[in-house]
Structure 1
Amino acid sequence: MKTREKIIQTALQLFNEKGLSQVGVREIARALDISVGNLSYHFPKKEDIVLELFERIRSTNEGHYAAYFAGPPQLDRFLACFRAIFHNQYRHRGVFMGNDEANRILQSQFGYAAVEQRRRDFMTRIFSELHTAGELSLQADELTFLVSFMTLFGRFWMMEAFVSFRDRPVEEIIDHYLGLLRFQLGLFATETGRRRLAKGGERSA
């Protein structure tokens, strides 16, 4: 593994263990047994490491959306997509736990407003297509609600999990939040949609 990747993986491990705000470049360098200067050659500032992690989160999530859009609009496929997204978010949970610092980096350097709008556009497209496919029954205001719900849910589920369920196995945590998502979608699902929800998002064998 190249030094740059070792830095990323070690930083992520430390962020996950202690939270973003509790880890600095000196601690990352010490864990790698390299000098701060050597680390700075690859990442001049801690923010550069965090930005790289945010970019990886974004890129992987967009890959999951792309895989979903490549197939038919179905609620079971939507839940499978979000199981994968939840895993990706949880794998990088440490960068979300230093909330003030993470927010500052997201707003000032990551172009988060554009990322957020793109996510809302994805949700609008997904739910509109599920409505057209006869799996959800949505009025215009209900579509708006579901998009806003997904934005809120996607942003805060992991914060609650970190506080309330941090000692549970990751699959158990994701099952819990996927169950909440399944229940919420079930309120707008047609009979066909409810059948899809009943079998959707199960763990891989």
Structure 2
Amino acid sequence: MRLYRHLFKLFFFGLILNSLLFFAQEKPYWKEIQEFKKIDQTNGIPKKPILLVGSSSFTKWTDVSNYFPGKTIVNRAFGGSRLLDLNNYTDELLDPYKPKQIIIYCGENDVAMDNPTAAEVFERFKTFFGKIRAKYPKVPVAYVSIKYSPSREKFWPIVTQVNTMIESYLKTQKRTDYIDITKVMNDADGKVRTDIFLGDMLHMKPEGYQLWAKVMAPYLK
């Protein structure tokens, strides 16, 4: 009888362990985070890099270091991510790198995917910023404004609200910058240039990143 109970306990705990492993692996972007860990183990972590975090507009900037010669940049953005996801993986994204500066591009997917209010997106940003400050009180933090992607034009009003709220908030915080990439992406008539976007009208061509680099360069430490 004791043997059966023992076997049952082992079976029961095995089910629990398998369930935990399954849900851990199914957690959104778990695989991407594990890939970052593998890269760090293979290549090592440079000393005091500029750390990029956020969503696909940074993820797809795979040659970002070429745009900023002399700067040591670690790109840990993952496509599709929201500020919610950055909050879920704060430790994994921030702890290993001991950065000299953190640059964020995130919030566009929050607006487009979750149907939140501007205030809700802003609160997600404040939460992430608070977590950064808890770990790195003196590290400069810069936020790149949410771009006006043509494929997401219906969200532009809330994008404007979120950008305005984040910009105003960062003005009240020390060692922060708000990097506005809005004007540089517009044509002479003040309309968003579609020629700098890929066919999905969401992600950018190299020409778009060249414009971003010009605006961002003065802010990089």
**Do they fold alike, i.e. is TM over 0.5?**
no
Which has more radius of gyration?
Answer: 2
TM-score, length of structure 2 as denominator length = 0.30
Task: Please identify which structure carries the higher strand content.
Answer: 2
Task: Please identify which structure carries the higher helix content.
Answer: 1
Q: Which has the higher contact order (CA 8 A, sep 6+)?
A: 1
TM-score, length of structure 1 as denominator length = 0.31
